[in-house]
């Protein structure tokens, strides 16, 4: 009497003809329950040599689980983190903004699946998270987001590993800048494929899974200031970023009845550690402003209302908000993280 009931959910589920499913507060705890039950199977089998295996009675099991010293030990555990027990999938997670997002969601308590076309980079990020937050807290998968089969397989692998997905951050992308007359059809198609088709395929897989799980979900797009800002020499990039933002709003309407939230973060000029600034993008943007490439950081800082540079961690902070319970009643939203660019103010 007076005891608060502990988590009543089973830790071992045996399915005849299929096998064993283990659950836990996190992947490491589920793995421990698997190891312990395999040992219990061994003990039960060995007992047959002497007599027969007899399990604890319900009263004995209760006395062990609700032993005062055990309850006291459990009371010393720190409170659960905001994203504890949730699984997040981040595309383009090997570098820059994606890496910062993966790190922040893991810090918030989530298990994180890092998808990237750069598998080695994704593995390095995952290994760092495992070292910091524990066994099985992260996994890395090679995924080309424009490949339908690859996207479906990635979601399958994450579901098999963690039991499902709760949060998806669509971030994988490229940048392209050129005057319209210098933009080739190949340039246009590549930009649309990665930033348009890639976001579509990831979104479709996420929504399909969430409807089957029937537990809701949170989809966060990493769009851009260019989603709402008309600028020179980036028609292909800006057009598809605008399409991303509108697709997020449309999916918010589609998913609302299923508890699926869809929101977008609109960054600008995140130079630090970002792969999109490779391959001439920095030089092209600097040329469009009539400055040297090495002057770009200072140029972007000075043009903002707050006179600040924007870093990957700033974007990750916004994603953390949209992904978790603090934004439980927010969908179809867009948050600018750009230091203040008057032409991109939402209205």
Give the span between the Cα atoms of 207 and 213, in whole angstroms.
Answer: 10
Specify which residues 267 forms β-bridges with.
337
| SS3 assignment, position 25 | coil
CA atoms within 13 A on the CB side of 153: 11
With beta carbons less than 8 A apart as the criterion, state whether 284 and 177 touch. Answer: yes
Give the span between the Cα atoms of 176 and 288, in whole angstroms.
Answer: 12
Q: Return the number of other C-beta atoms located less than 10 Å from residue 259's C-beta.
A: 16
Give the span between the Cα atoms of 245 and 156, in whole angstroms.
Answer: 26
Give the span between the Cα atoms of 302 and 339, in whole angstroms.
Answer: 10
Beta strands in 117-208 (DSSP E): 138-142, 167-170
Is 162 an annotated catalytic residue?
no
| SS3 assignment, position 182 | helix
Across 91-130, b (16+ Cβ under 10 Å) vs e yields bbbbbbbbbbbbbbbbbbbbbbbbbbbbeebbbbbbeebb
- Which residue in 162, 221, 237, 311 is the catalytic one? 237
Distances in Å between the alpha carbon of 306 and those of 8, 103, 302, 309, 317?
51, 26, 8, 9, 18
Q: What is the CA radius of gyration of the chain?
A: 24
* Residues recognised as catalytic: 237
């Amino acid at each position: 009497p007076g005891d608060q009931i502990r988590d009543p959910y089973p830790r071992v589920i045996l399915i005849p003809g299929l096998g064993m499913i283990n659950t836990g507060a996190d992947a490491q705890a589920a793995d421990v329950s698997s190891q312990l039950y395999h040992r219990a199977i061994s003990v039960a089998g060995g007992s047959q040599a002497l007599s027969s295996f007899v399990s604890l009675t319900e009263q004995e099991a209760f006395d062990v689980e609700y032993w005062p010293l055990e309850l006291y030990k459990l009371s010393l555990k720190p409170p659960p983190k905001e994203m504890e027990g949730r699984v997040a999938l981040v595309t383009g997670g090997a570098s820059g903004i994606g890496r910062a997002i993966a790190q922040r969601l893991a810090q918030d308590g989530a298990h994180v699946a890092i998808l990237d076309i750069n598998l080695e980079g994704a593995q390095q990020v995952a290994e760092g998270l495992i070292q910091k937050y524990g066994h099985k807290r992260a996994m890395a998968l090679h995924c080309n987001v424009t490949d339908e089969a690859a996207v479906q397989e990635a979601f399958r692998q994450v579901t098999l590993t963690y039991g499902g997905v709760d949060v998806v951050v669509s971030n994988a992308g490229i940048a392209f800048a050129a005057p319209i007359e210098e933009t080739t059809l190949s340039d246009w198609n590549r930009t649309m494929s990665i930033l348009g088709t890639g976001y579509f395929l990831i979104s479709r897989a996420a929504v399909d899974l969430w409807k089957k799980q029937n537990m809701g979900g949170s989809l966060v797009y990493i769009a851009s200031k260019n989603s709402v800002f008309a600028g020179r020499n980036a028609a292909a990039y800006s057009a598809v970023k605008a399409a991303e933002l509108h697709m997020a709003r449309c999916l918010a309407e589609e998913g609302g009845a299923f508890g699926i939230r869809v929101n977008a973060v609109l960054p600008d000029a995140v130079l630090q550690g970002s792969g999109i600034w490779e391959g001439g993008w920095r030089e092209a943007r600097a040329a469009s402003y009539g400055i040297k490439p090495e002057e770009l950081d200072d140029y972007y800082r000075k043009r903002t209302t707050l006179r600040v540079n924007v870093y990957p961690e700033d974007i990750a902070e916004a994603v953390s908000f949209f992904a978790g319970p603090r934004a439980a009643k927010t969908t179809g939203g867009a948050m600018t993280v750009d230091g203040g660019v008057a032409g991109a103010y939402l209205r």
